[in-house]
Chains A and B, each alone.
Chain A
């Protein structure tokens, strides 16, 4: 059974810091991995999608990497801003299914 874990559960940093969010999964037979952002009480915003054959994807100040064999992904946020404060969720899609399996998220607070 695929399980997704995100560490840390919560993170508070001062504005301007570079930071790394971690995601691990137990079954390496994934098709792709998606990182999402969720603001309180809102839906999910897709940030980056990495196919299983890719090592990383970049969008602006965000960079996501994938090490499929070790079951890990990281989301790197450069020069953090207060507007980055949100919960960040990673989700994996297995080869055999279209459903996403989510971690519990990392709650990020960027202090001005």
Chain B
């Protein structure tokens, strides 16, 4: 499968714990995006990388959230001191460079904070 992959697919954690998610983009896609989706809503943008540079961050990305893409390939999203309000689907997408920029999404990581 050459699509965007995310790991884990599901994560259950207790409030206050730290969690880390991984995203592997489509090979040769130099842009990578993170979104968060709650039930019944459309995804909301969190952050975007071009290669290893984090170029845009949403105000939704509080101090407890950090994202990295150290070698311009896979990316990680870490949430520290999780809260129940962090429960959501975390989606990763990637796109080629250039002008068309069609985004392709992974299957998501479902986070449940108890």
Residues of A whose CB lies within 8 Å of any CB of B are 4, 31-32, 34, 36, 41-46, 49, 51, 89, 91, 93, 97-105
Q: Does B43 lie at the interface of the complex (its beta carbon under 8 Å from any beta carbon of A)?
A: yes
A46 vs B33: C-alpha distance when bound (angstroms): 15
Verify A45–B105 contact, CB threshold 8 A: yes
A-B pairs with beta carbons under 8 Å apart, 7 shown: A34-B103, A43-B106, A44-B43, A44-B93, A45-B105, A46-B105, A93-B101
Name the B residues within 8 Å of A99 (CB-CB). Answer: 33, 45, 48, 56, 58
Nearest-neighbor residue (CB-CB) of A91 within chain B: B42
Beyond A32-B100, A42-B107, A43-B6, list 15 extra A-B contacts (CB 8 Å): A44-B93, A45-B105, A46-B102, A46-B103, A98-B33, A99-B33, A100-B43, A100-B103, A102-B42, A102-B44, A104-B40, A104-B41, A104-B42, A105-B41, A105-B42
Verify B43–A49 contact, CB threshold 8 A: no
Verify B42–A98 contact, CB threshold 8 A: no
A93 vs B31: C-alpha distance when bound (angstroms): 14
Q: Does B91 lie at the interface of the complex (its beta carbon under 8 Å from any beta carbon of A)?
A: yes
Q: Does B104 lie at the interface of the complex (its beta carbon under 8 Å from any beta carbon of A)?
A: yes
- Main SS at interface, chain A: strand
The 5 residue pairs across chains A and B that have the minimum distance between CB atoms: A102-B42, A99-B45, A44-B105, A43-B107, A43-B105
> How far apart are B105's CB and chain A's nearest CB, in angstroms?
4
A91 vs B6: C-alpha distance when bound (angstroms): 22
A-B contact count (CB 8 A): 62
A70 vs B93: C-alpha distance when bound (angstroms): 29
> How far apart are B30's CB and chain A's nearest CB, in angstroms?
11
Name the B residues within 8 Å of A34 (CB-CB). Answer: 102-103
Nearest-neighbor residue (CB-CB) of B6 within chain A: A43
A102 vs B31: C-alpha distance when bound (angstroms): 19
A105 vs B104: C-alpha distance when bound (angstroms): 17
A112 vs B103: C-alpha distance when bound (angstroms): 32
> How far apart are B102's CB and chain A's nearest CB, in angstroms?
5
Name the A residues within 8 Å of B104 (CB-CB). Answer: 46
Nearest-neighbor residue (CB-CB) of A90 within chain B: B42
